[in-house]
Amino acid sequence: MTIQIGVNGHSMFASGAYRQINDEDVFKTLAAHKLKRYRLTIPLAADTDPWAATRFTSIVGLAANYGVTLEPVLALPLMWGDKTDAGKYPAGDAAAIYSQGYNRTLAFVRQFASSVGDWELGNEINLTVRDANGSPLFGKGWTSAEFAAYPSMVDFANLLRGMSDAIEQVRRDTGRNLRRIVGTTSTMFGYIDFMKANGVKVDVLGYHYYEHAGMDPTKYWGGVRPNFNLFTKLSSYGVPVAINEMNGAEIYDSTFVNTSTSASMSACNSNLDAMLARFSQYSFIEWIDLYELIDEPDKTGPDGRFGLMFNLSTPKPLMSTVDKYTGGPQ
């Protein structure tokens, strides 16, 4: 199996740098570099309906024209703290949260089931948990019980079960092979186990990988556990894996210089090359999405400089490395 390479972008939010570029130019760029997938977030809430469907309809058409597979991440009101969905389910209890997940997902996925096959149930929800010190569970989060201890995770389990059940219903109604992506990061595989134990179906396992050069994923940092083989762990779930965010962690360094000719850019580029070479070897990894298409200079710190390109007219050396794996322009 030849691994697919894709990229993340923010066309649906159309904010900041992405507001200033034309949608078709995005897909022309993807096609030119033979990037086969585009991961983007779709906010589904009272103040975005029916805007989200109208906007996504346009993006679906462009993706089809340019041979790009869309990978939507569904974002629902609970993900920004609204248990009632703007008062639609005033009780805000478990049944209300499940209904929010089911009804919003059902309507949207049904509308696009003939065009989009893979649907991701939220993004990095595992990172919303904070321990007693206010820190994420970095180095922890190995077990389902760790997540079950947090009421917020119980709420998210109800939401994702609603989302998962809705996609299952659309599968039955349409006969389409719709897949549910549930993802995690770092050592927090307990999040996946917790969601599965609560009735959330995982058809594709998502994982985000940002590391510095020299990290050996077969001897990955286990935090409270010994180092472990990341590939063995990912494959143990018995479903296809998507590394749906990847880039060099050098970008996080305070010394990183975001120019094409800097030593830090060269180090990051070499690291990305090694990552792609390594992860592409494993047949259970179905695709890799790089993060992200262009820089977002309106964001401060590292978040503004993750682009493979400075803008759609100016690629970084990172894009040339990606081209080596996609067959894009050399």
Q: Pseudo-torsion of CA 244, 152, 127, 12, nearest 10°?
A: 40
Q: What's the chain's average pLDDT? A: 96
- pLDDT at residue 16 tops 90: no
Condensed to tens digits (0 to 9), the pLDDT of residues 212-260 reads 999 999 999 999 999 999 999 999 999 999 999 999 999 999 999 999 9
Contacts of 250 (CB under 8 A, 6+ apart): 212, 213, 256, 264, 267, 268, 271
Condensed to tens digits (0 to 9), the pLDDT of residues 171-192 reads 999 999 999 999 999 999 999 9
Condensed to tens digits (0 to 9), the pLDDT of residues 97-110 reads 999 999 999 999 99
* 234-239 CB contacts, 8 Å cutoff, 24+ apart: 234/205, 234/207, 234/284, 234/285, 235/282, 235/284, 237/192, 237/202, 237/205, 239/202, 239/203, 239/204, 239/205
Condensed to tens digits (0 to 9), the pLDDT of residues 19-30 reads 899 999 999 999
**Whether the Cβ atoms of residue 64 and residue 115 lie closer than 8 Å to each other:** yes
The gap between the terminal CA atoms of the chain, to the nearest Å, is 23
Amino acid present at 144: S
Q: Please tell me the predicted confidence (pLDDT) of residue 11.
A: 92
Q: Please tell me the predicted confidence (pLDDT) of residue 47.
A: 82
SS3 81: coil
Condensed to tens digits (0 to 9), the pLDDT of residues 113-133 reads 999 999 999 999 999 999 888
Task: Please report the DSSP string for 105-163 in residue order.
Answer: HHHHHHHHTTT--EEEE-SSGGGG---TTS---TT---SHHHHHT-HHHHHHHHHHHHH
Q: Please tell me the predicted confidence (pLDDT) of residue 281.
A: 96
Q: Mean pLDDT, to the nearest integer, of 33-53?
A: 93
Amino acid present at 258: N
Q: Please tell me the predicted confidence (pLDDT) of residue 231.
A: 98
Condensed to tens digits (0 to 9), the pLDDT of residues 193-203 reads 999 999 999 99
Q: Please tell me the predicted confidence (pLDDT) of residue 15.
A: 67
SS3 13: coil
Q: Mean pLDDT, to the nearest integer, of 72-95?
A: 97
Cα 289 to chain centroid distance, Å, stands at 8
Condensed to tens digits (0 to 9), the pLDDT of residues 293-325 reads 999 999 999 999 999 999 999 999 999 999 999
